[in-house]
Structure 1
Amino acid sequence: MPLTLADARKKVTILTAVPADLAAIPLTALTSGIEASCKINKPDYRLSPTASDTVPDQPLCAEGNATTFGNSNFEGSITSLRFLDATGKPETAEDEVYDALRVKGSRVVVVERTGPKWDEPWAAGDIYRAFEVITDNPQEPQDMAGYIKNVHPLGVQNAVLHGVVAAGA
């Protein structure tokens, strides 16, 4: 079985309404979401679990120390690429990722699929990861070279690490 390079194999869709079930997002919700794959910066995109809390729990009869994993933790950040016209004003239709994330406290769901190329449409049965997040204030990037962009710190409120796209609405 050959290994597959990761290039262009992550599809990211942003939903501005939180679905009822993050583990079974309807296909219609995903196809009507914001296609973000070409509107976010690859080098610093990150939505991921981090180390879980640990609890030093073990029975009294156990020798030595044991660690049990407690609550899960997550971190996230998206750098939106800006789409501006010749006068420097936002191109509304193209600047939609920035718009969805720009207001502190906005609640969105970021859904990512790894495997098929980013431009393959969502299909019933696709496996994905979904992160319900709230946004902080957009920040200026450390690296001001290249495209105009803004960094959006994300507070992960809920996550599903193995969801399956549901058919229908």
Structure 2
Amino acid sequence: MPRIVDLGITKYLWVPAGGVAVVTAPTAAELTAGSVKDISQFVVTTTNVQASASDTTNEKAITDTANVVVPTIGNYEGNLVLFRDFTSGAPTSSVDLLATFNAAGIVGYVVRRVGKASSAAVVATDVVDVFKFMTDNPQIQGGTGEGYLKLTVPLLQQGSFKVGAVVAA
């Protein structure tokens, strides 16, 4: 059975609001547009973006002989923990994370692809997870002397997600 080590095979994209027309089938053009930020190299391993347990209803018929649990509303959760890249107090990279995530209320999509090299461009037929979020207040960390400068961006779900979406042409 083939196996792959989970090193360098995850890509994270931030797609601004309106950048994905159909969450279940984003296009390669949408995911490579100039407004899309590839944040992969900044994502810390403690980042959490994933589907979570659905809300359920527990109601059975009088003839059922065991409990019945039915999923109703799907849930997902997220936060981005990001390294901040500085040289002489200014962002080194073309992706200025604090400019991208500078306030609460910024709506966009976190798109995650797992299984191909993170450096490889997104193409049609790639399988991705798409989550629509609104940012909460960015949390800037520093001054502790216990690691790199980081930015934590709490993410608030906005009602649309798809795990295993296939990128359209």
Q: State the TM-score, normalized to the length of structure 1.
A: 0.88
Q: Does structure 1 residue 35 correspond to structure 2 residue 38?
A: yes
After superposition, the Cα gap between the structure-2 partners of 1:98 and 1:41, relative to the gap in structure 1 and judged at 3 Å, is farther
Task: Give structure 1 stretches of 5+ with no counterpart.
Answer: none
1:150 aligns with 151
State how far apart, in whole Å, the 1-side matches of 2:123 and 2:112 are: 13
Deviations 1:107-148 (A, max 9, x none): 011111111110111111111000010000012459942211
| More strand by percentage | 2
Q: Does structure 1 residue 3 correspond to structure 2 residue 3?
A: yes
After superposition, the Cα gap between the structure-2 partners of 1:154 and 1:143, relative to the gap in structure 1 and judged at 3 Å, is farther
Matched to 1:106, the amino acid is I
After superposition, the Cα gap between the structure-2 partners of 1:63 and 1:142, relative to the gap in structure 1 and judged at 3 Å, is farther
Worse overlay, 58-67 or 114-123: 58-67
Matched to 2:153, the amino acid is H
Matched to 1:40, the amino acid is V
Q: For residue 98 of structure 1, give the secondary structure of its aligned residue in structure 2.
A: helix
Q: Is the 8 A contact 1:16 1:100 kept in 2?
A: no
Task: Give structure 2 stretches of 5+ with no counterpart.
Answer: none
State how far apart, in whole Å, the 2-side matches of 1:119 and 1:108 are: 22
Matched residues, number: 164
Q: Does structure 1 residue 63 correspond to structure 2 residue 55?
A: no
2:115 aligns with 115
Q: Counterparts of 1:2-151 in structure 2 under 5 Å?
A: 2-18=2-18, 19-32=20-33, 33-42=36-45, 44-86=46-88, 88-91=89-92, 93-95=94-96, 97-141=97-141, 144=144, 145-151=146-152
After superposition, the Cα gap between the structure-2 partners of 1:57 and 1:93, relative to the gap in structure 1 and judged at 3 Å, is same
Matched to 1:34, the amino acid is K
State how far apart, in whole Å, the 1-side matches of 2:40 and 2:147 are: 18
Q: Is the 8 A contact 2:107 2:135 kept in 1?
A: yes
Q: Is the 8 A contact 1:80 1:98 kept in 2?
A: no
Q: Is the 8 A contact 1:55 1:68 kept in 2?
A: yes
After superposition, the Cα gap between the structure-2 partners of 1:9 and 1:140, relative to the gap in structure 1 and judged at 3 Å, is same
2:164 aligns with 162
After superposition, the Cα gap between the structure-2 partners of 1:66 and 1:102, relative to the gap in structure 1 and judged at 3 Å, is same
After superposition, the Cα gap between the structure-2 partners of 1:160 and 1:39, relative to the gap in structure 1 and judged at 3 Å, is same
Q: Is the 8 A contact 1:136 1:152 kept in 2?
A: yes
Cα RMSD after superposing both structures:
2.0
Q: Is the 8 A contact 1:102 1:152 kept in 2?
A: no
Matched to 1:108, the amino acid is G
Q: Is the 8 A contact 2:141 2:149 kept in 1?
A: no
